[in-house]
Amino acid sequence: MKLLKFFKSACLLVLLVSAKTTFAQNNYSEEILIGKGNPTLFGEGIGLQKEAYDAYLEMQKAAKKEGIDIKVVSGYRNFDRQKAIFERKYKAYTKDGLSPTEAINKIIEYSTIPGTSRHHWGTDMDIVDGSKNVSGSVLDPDKFHGNGPYCKLKEWLDKHANDYGFYLVYTDNPKRKGFKYEPWHFSYLPISKPMLKAYKKLDIITILKDDKLLGSEYLTEDFMEEYIKNNILDINPALQP
């Protein structure tokens, strides 16, 4: 009898811990949204939430039947990783003679300010066709068009990615502002859409003031308001909450 009671108590504890973890992640805490939390992620070297990862595997499996090897070259990135990318570019651009403001504007053509990246969420990924051997940067729009090595991948994604819940984030709509066109960046809509809704409620300007980011003194309130409007919110309308 005592053993049975102990077993029931242990099971209840496991359920409570599991429920607490799920509750925390599903409610999208500030830490999770800005890349400082510890979300449960799947896929070695990828880092997607479970539902997104399962959908990715199904999409990858379907593409393989067409001779396409969908490969994630960048998935989850936490705050510190994004900060390292941002500061590396900031140092390089200012060393090359750009003013701090010019350097930041050049960085945000493709890279986000730490704490504002969709890659913090475990829903977004940059993908290429792993069956192709390419030189130079794999994340180059030209490689997805014309006679580029990833043309077949792009054509397949245009037709089928939405069927698996994945949507292009930064489209080639000429009226869209913010980050430049990224034919490689896809987001798992069923999770990222409510996460963006939760993210919009954050006072991200105040949050970033405490992080002592290199060049942060140039991230004025006016600059950040424009950045949020253009770079965070001016995306594929399908992903808007």
Would you kindly state where each structural domain of the chain is located, as residue ranges? 31-239
Please give the residue that has the higher pLDDT: either 84 or 211: 84
Strands, E assignment, 61-173 = 70-74, 124-129, 166-168
Instruction: Check residue 133 and report its DSSP letter.
Output: -
Query: DSSP 3-state assignment of 104?
Result: helix
For the stretch 96-151, pLDDT in tens is 999 999 999 999 988 899 999 999 999 999 999 999 989 889 999 999 999 999 99
Q: What percent of the chain has pLDDT over 70?
A: 89
Query: DSSP 3-state assignment of 59?
Result: helix
The dihedral built from the CA positions of residue 111, 115, 116 and 118, taken in this order, carries a sign that is positive
Q: Are 118 and 169 in contact (CB under 8 A)?
A: yes
Distances from the Cα of 24 to the Cα of 15, 83, 176, angstroms? 14, 24, 34
Considering the four listed CATH numbers 3.40.50.1370, 3.10.310.30, 3.30.1380.10, 1.25.40.80, the one that applies to the domain covering 31-239 is: 3.30.1380.10
